[in-house]
Structure 1
Amino acid sequence: MTGAFLPLVNREHKVSITQQIFIGMRTAILSGTLEKGSRLSSWQDLSVQLGVSRGTVKRAYDLLKDHGFIVTKGRGGSWVSTALPVGAIETTPQARAPRGLFYDFEEGPQYFQLGVPAQDQFPSKAWHGAWRRAIAAESSRPQIYPDPRGLLSLRREVAGYLATARSYSCHPSQVFITSGFAGALGIVLGAMGFRGSRAFVEDPGFPRTRHALQQAGVETIAAPVDREGVRLPFGEEGAQLAVITPGQQAPLGMPLSATRRAEILHWANETDAWIIEDDYAGELQLSGRALPALAADDRFGRVFHIGSFSKTLNPGLRLGFLVVPLALADMFGAFVGHLAPAGSVVAQQAVQNFMSGGHFYRHLRRMKALYARRKALLVENLCREIHPGIRCEYEGALSVRLFFPRSADDVAIAAEAQRAGLGVLPLSPWYQSHGPGKGLLLGIANVRDRTVRGKCEMLSQVISSHTSG
């Protein structure tokens, strides 16, 4: 709508204001700034925003209509034409050019896509009810600034959930509601002033975490991963931070061993360093009881615990939480109050409603059983379809990993698979070291009984075309 676009009006210009509005909006339509089929502000509203008379804007709208750039629908308002006039040359502004650098975020999840929950088994009725109650509560709530740390009721629910599901006792004053994992990471890096410092990162580890640290001015040091989880190279001097996934290592899936947990906590205490615990799907351990959060074992106050609702509820929420050591709660409260306050109160209230009604715990229990079945189904079909020379690993995590010979180009294989609608990811970009493993990562959440065999056949054909011979 034009609420996001205001044509410039120059009262000193010789061209009439009506013509200026007409030209400005025509240019915006041709460039795509005002998209085809989008609704425009009424000429009455736009006149107020521009500070000109209603008649001036109405004449500009009439010109746009006469030239075929907009259509009117009576009381339904005015809209940008879906078919522009013959001879009109559409242009693409430079600001829209780098679209190829990003995913098409409006597409549904692909088969084998990582990081998204099951689309077909979500408790929609309970979820919709939680949102209806949240919207009703917001409409009757005083219109004041909310607590920048997040709704107290939700922070209490998160604290209770952590105590129950992750064996981590914390006070709601330590809990901050964030814009997902990335928002929580940014808060820690900013509040602690880590720019210019060095940090251990898992190798392999989540690429976006590594890139976020580097963009924040933090030098990353690759820490290798083995069957016990990450092994920090303690001989490296000057590291002030470690960012790790102790619950389920991302992407390889193993939990951090008790020995390694103790070693890392001891290192942080002895060297005055800090640990960021990315509790990556820690609550969705598919076999046995999930290990306690690393922060639950922290007697020194050195661990920042980060969780997210992306993999359990909906990544579109952009909702997560950060738990800080008690001694830092006031400092972080001041930081988020100035620079990173919690987001939508309605979304927070909806999640709180969902949790307080017992739906969240019930949903987790059902998803663990569902994902275990779907992983077994996927592994069975992969073992039947994939060439014996391709190693398949599936212990831990919400993924299955396929490992290729080092000569294989896993990035090219993944790109071809994605073009076929298979949302696999290449393994090599998860490595910082120069000798990365090659392979694919397959998500299990949206595997289906009726389609999994055909999808595995498609993937096998793509892999074979790149690795055979």
Structure 2
Amino acid sequence: MRRIRAGFMPAISVDPAHERPLYRQLYDGFQRAIVEGRLRPGQRVPSSRSLAAELRISRIPVVTAYEQLQAEGYLETFVGAGTCVAAAIPEDALVPSVSAATGAGERSPTRQIARRVAAVMATPQDPSIPVIGAFRVSLPALDQFPRQVWSGLLNRHQRNLATERMAYGDPMGWAPLREAIAEYVGASRAVRCDASQVMIVAGSQQALQITARALLDDGDPVWVEEPGYPGAHRAFYLAGAEPVPAPIDHDGLDVEAAIRRRPDARAAYITPSHQYPMGVTMSAARRMMLLNWAARAGAWIIEDDYDSEYRFAGRPIASLQGLDSDDRVIYVGTFSKVLFPALRLGYLVIPSDLVQAFAAAREAMDIFPPTAPQAALADFIGEGHFARHIRRMRMLYMERRRLLAETIAAQIGDLMQVVSAEAGMHLVGLVDPRLDDADLSRRAAARGISAVPLSSCYLEKPDKAGLVLGFGGTDGPAIEAGVRKLAEVVRAAAAQA
């Protein structure tokens, strides 16, 4: 039998004051660890002498426990290898214990989960979809990322890891990266801020969590776009807030309808530059109306600018935050879409008087973000690699968007209508409302195609049916092959409807 090094031993403790003999406490601890798999077959256990010294007890109860475990087949002793867990565990050890209170195989009725998590689980979930491949939403062109440049920058900081970088960091993040981001969003998105207002986070999802915890109390209503980003719904539910669906149209969030529905809302979550998922841009009139409402009501606006770098038609749209004269907007940005999702870096731009509150919320959650990737990203931006990569990807995604829209029109245009494909890395294909888009998504997943059902973006009964299709991480041949499979799925479903 192959022997395994001792590695990490599970905690085996004894209480000399307990009425149960020491050897029996040791026997019970080892027996449970073996049966539960915390000690693996072939794994060495400490010698009786070393274990007795570690537990500060006599060696006699340790030897007695080991002898009993060997006699029952739980341990084996090998010359030159010491005592190891037996290769074959006694069959009667695997019989589940019977609880007198609940009976065999049953659990007690008190295993409750938090109401907030239950609310998250009750929201519409995307069907199981492929992790990578055709039409995965929010997935950039990973094969086009300059990996060698990035690896070199990361290695630079890992090799020269200064002692102070190994210690605890600032909850707001690495100062050079915050400065680079402040300069970038000021120039490209007309965001008004300095580095002191920038917080580095683990992507936009954590940004929403921190914002909700810093600004909202249990039960506070929050306007969310309908349809809208499901991740925001879950973030607010988990924070104990109440997402309130507010309709969108071709001008974005209908502010008047939202006010009529919940005038007491404490915040509004919006994606004004490129609404998720429908892709519309919020009009200037609606933007001013929303800002005026927030100022009058003392409410907050959470602006998620998730893929503003990629706009293919018309002039770039400035941020809502840049128009805010009352410091009511919290601006959310992420590098997941422009670089790669596994980087897990994003940022918040926070009104100056809220920085301390956000820092406190952040410190309570995970203290501070990892330093090395922040340092590498600061150099990636500062040395011009970031701007060059965005320019290249903008042209690539423009071509992929055109190809996907044209291929859908050519192969399935009679059953699917493409809407709002002028920006970002995804488009929506509307289908007959009589079709179940969640069922279409499951059928597509079975064919290896990722297609998020539009219905999963609604909190209330959907008034449209469709599929959200990402094109950022899908090349030309995969787009054409994917649309062929998707056409077969939709036509089969339509024939059965």
| Range of TM-score over shorter length | 0.7 to 0.9
1:2/1:34 contact within 8 Å kept: no
What's the counterpart of residue 478 of structure 2?
Answer: 451
1:307 corresponds to 2:315: no
The residue identity in structure 1 corresponding to 2:463 is: P
Report the counterpart of residue 439 of structure 2 in structure 1: 412
Q: Please, which of 215, 232, 249 is the counterpart of residue 238 of structure 2?
A: 215
From 8, 14, 21, give the equivalent of 1:10. 14
Cα distance in 1 between the residues matched to 2:320 and 2:244: 21
**Counterpart selection for 1:235 from 253, 260, 266:** 260
In the TM superposition, 1:27-426 aligns within 5 A as 27-29=35-37, 51-52=54-55, 108-141=131-164, 143-232=166-255, 233=257, 234-236=259-261, 237-386=263-412, 388-393=414-419, 394-426=421-453
Aligned-partner residue type, residue 160 of structure 1: E
User: Per-residue displacement from partner, 1:158-207 (whole Å, max 9, x unpaired)?
Assistant: 10111122111311111111122121112222222332221111011011
Output the CA distance in 1 between the equivalents of 2:313 and 2:39. 51
- Which one of the candidate residues 429, 445, 449 is aligned to 2:456? 429
Shift of 1:22: 4.5
Distance between the aligned counterparts of 1:254 and 1:2, measured in 2? 60
- Tell me, yes or no, if the aligned pair for 1:184 and 1:321 is still in contact at 8 Å: yes
Q: Is the 8 A contact 2:200 2:347 kept in 1?
A: yes
Return the offset for 1:134: 2.3
SS of the residue corresponding to residue 281 of structure 2 reads coil
Q: 1:311 to 1:207 in 2, by over 3 A?
A: same
Q: Deviations over 1:403-459 (max 9, x none)?
A: 111111110110111122111100012122324311101100122223332221111
Which deviates more, 444-453 or 399-408? 444-453
Secondary structure class of the residue paired with 1:381: helix
Cα distance per residue 1:109-144 (max 9 Å; x no partner): 132100121121111011101211221243543643
Q: TM-score, normalised by structure 1?
A: 0.83
Shift of 1:40: 8.1
Q: Percent identity?
A: 30
Task: Describe the shift of the 1:419–1:93 C-alpha distance in structure 2 as closer, same or farther (beyond 3 A).
Answer: farther
Which segment is superposed worse, 190-199 or 307-316? 190-199
Q: Which residue of 2 aligns with 1:26?
A: 34
Residues 205-248 of structure 1, C-alpha deviation per residue, up to 9 Å, x if partnerless? 01121132133222222211111111122223211210000111
Q: Which runs of 5+ in 2 are unaligned?
A: 97-104, 112-120
Q: Give deviations 1:82-110, integer Å, cap 9, x for gaps.
A: x9889796999999xxxxx8999997413
One-letter amino acid matched to 2:312: L
Matched residue of 1:160: which SS? helix
- Residues 129, 191 of structure 1: CA spacing in aligned structure 2 closer, same or farther, 3 A cutoff? same
Secondary structure at the counterpart of residue 212 of structure 1? helix
Is the CA contact 1:410–1:440 (under 8 Å) kept in the aligned structure 2?
A: yes
Counterpart CA distance in 2 for 1:80 and 1:460 is: 57
Cα separation, partners in 2 of 1:21 and 1:358, compared to 1, 3 Å: farther
SS of equivalent to 2:330: strand
- d(CA) in 2 for partners of 1:306, 1:84: 55
Structure 1 Cα separation of the partners of residues 135 and 8 of structure 2: 37
Could you tell me how far apart the structure 2 residues matched to 1:420 and 1:35 are? Answer: 40
* Contact kept? 1:390, 1:402, Cα under 8 Å: yes
Distance (Å, rounded) in 1 between the aligned partners of 2:462 and 2:197 = 40
Cα distance in 1 between the residues matched to 2:181 and 2:285 = 28
What is the aligned-residue RMSD (CA, Å)?
Answer: 4.0
1:309–1:320 Cα contact (<8 Å) kept: yes
8 A Cα contact 2:404 2:471, kept in partner: yes
Confirm or deny: 8 A CA contact 1:247 1:256 kept in the other structure. Answer: yes
CA distance in 2, matches of 1:264, 1:207: 22
The answer on whether the counterparts of 2:138 and 2:426 sit within 8 Å (CA) in structure 1 is no
Q: Read off the aligned partner of 1:260 and give its amino acid letter.
A: R
- Residue 116 of structure 2 corresponds to none
Q: How many angstroms apart in 2 are the aligned matches of 1:315 and 1:105?
A: 19
Contact 1:9 1:20 in 2 (8 A): no
Letter in 2 for 1:336: R
Aligned length: 447
Q: Which residue of 2 aligns with 1:98?
A: none
With over 3 angstroms needed to count, the CA separation of the structure-2 counterparts of 1:353 and 1:210, relative to structure 1, is same
Could you tell me whether the CA contact under 8 Å between 2:197 and 2:351 is conserved in 1? yes
Q: Quote the Cα distance in structure 2 between the aligned partners of 1:131 and 1:93.
A: 51
Q: Distance in 2 between matches of 1:148 and 1:317?
A: 18
Question: 1:442 aligns to what?
Answer: 469
Alpha-carbon contact 1:387-1:464 (below 8 Å) kept: no
CA 1:153/1:433 → structure 2, altered by over 3 Å: closer, same or farther? same
Cα distance in 1 between the residues matched to 2:128 and 2:368: 23
